A and B are shown apart, each in its own frame.
Chain A
Amino acid sequence: MVRRTGRLDQMRSRLKLWRARKVGENVRVIGRIWVYGGGRIEIGDRVLVDASACPIELHVKEEAALIIGDDVEIHGGTSIEATARVTIGSGVHIGPYCKVMDNHWHPLRGDRRQRPESSPVVIGDRVTLGRKVILLPGVMIGDDTRVLDASVVSRSLPPNVTAQGFPSRPVKKKELGRI
């Protein structure tokens, strides 16, 4: 799918993404995008960032990387936090109010002000995340997987399944008709 955008629109989008190290062709940003930290951000071609409902946050720490592939669509209210590495494949659709993080920010026991070790998050190609999906650190999602609304992915998901719930598990083929 080729999305045509006006030249002025593209220039504005590029200005909004001035913090990104690499921005592809035909990238479109609607609304506000907040970028924190000085890490490496790479954005592929034909990416649509639709923040018209609510701004989008990208936290990328120093020495961290956020790599977004081609044809990705990201909706408003999403926040992506990278302290090590977050990789988003091509053709991914991220719904509104999603949260992708690769660090828990606080340890479970002991002093909550310290930061635990981070573990990278990988999202495969053509993955669809619904509304309010939360991806916890260390998660890998296989290609063509669909994650339904308001589920929390705490373990890795295989390719080509539909997952739901918390902790999110692949839905069985019998139950698929009901969803």
Chain B
Amino acid sequence: MISTALLTKIRQRIWRELHWPYRWYLRDCERGASVCAFSPVQVENEGRIWLDRKVTFVRGMVPTKIICGKGAEVSIGPYCMINYGITMRALNSIRIGERTLIAAFVEIDDASDDGEPRPIVIGDHVWIAHGAVISPGVHIGNGSAVAAGSRVTRDVPADCLAIGNPARIVPFDVVTR
């Protein structure tokens, strides 16, 4: 007897592999095993983009855009789920840890106003919700969450919720929901 969970896993795996033609959009990236895109992804790469294993680009209305400048680096950790309509622009470096969830219309841009790009580091198990904006030089700790529509301008420690515009930082212990 095969369990239902295993069957679902097998079905998901087959579904991922059926979308292999979409890997054409990721041809400029260095990528690990079973990296999967379910929709067009616009990649402009003059530096280095590293997609670790099982990174998923979810299908949606607006294509995801990844721009990597000269000598810049984008690295996305394993098992990341990336939704549609994301703008990710790296002129220095953007690092995203493993199992991070990024929702639709998130903007991650490391080009600051003073002309000097500052690196963005996003930890493991982070959840960035719909329409959040991550400013240059921000570090987000492991397990944190960024609420929908918030603008993160300061560093977020581990296990905290960043909420508001500009974002306040609230530890998970204080959050009631």
Which A positions have Cβ atoms within 8 angstroms of B? 34, 54-57, 77, 79, 97, 99, 101, 106, 108-109, 112, 132, 134, 136, 150-152, 154, 165-167
Contact = CB atoms under 8 A, between A and B. Distances in A.
Contacts of B145: 108
Interface string B152-177: 00000000010111000000100101
Nearest to A76: B61
Main secondary structure of the interface of A (DSSP, over half): loop
Contact of A57 (B61, B99, B172, B175): B61
B175 A166 contact: no
A166 B165 contact: yes
25 contacts: A34-B61, A56-B61, A79-B61, A79-B104, A99-B148, A106-B127, A108-B127, A108-B161, A108-B172, A108-B177, A112-B99, A112-B125, A112-B127, A132-B131, A132-B149, A134-B130, A134-B131, A134-B148, A151-B149, A152-B131, A152-B147, A166-B149, A166-B150, A166-B165, A167-B163
Nearest to A165: B165
B149 A150 contact: yes
A54 B130 contact: no
B62 A167 contact: no
B101 interface: yes
Interface size class on chain B is 20 to 34
B interface, over-half SS: loop
B105 interface: yes
Contacts of B164: 166-167
Most chain B CB atoms below 10 A, which of A151, A166, A167: A166
B101 A112 contact: yes
A34 B177 CA distance: 32
Interface in B77-94: none
Contact of B150 (A55, A57, A152): A152
A57 B83 CA distance: 14
A139 to B, nearest CB: 12
Nearest to B103: A105
Nearest to A167: B164
Interface in B91-121: 99, 101, 104-105
B61 A99 contact: no
Contacts of B148: 99, 134, 136, 152
A129 B177 CA distance: 26
A77 B131 contact: no
Given A134-B130, A152-B149, A109 B172 contact: yes
A55 B61 contact: yes
A79 B83 CA distance: 13
Contact of A77 (B62, B149, B163, B177): B62
A101 B104 CA distance: 13
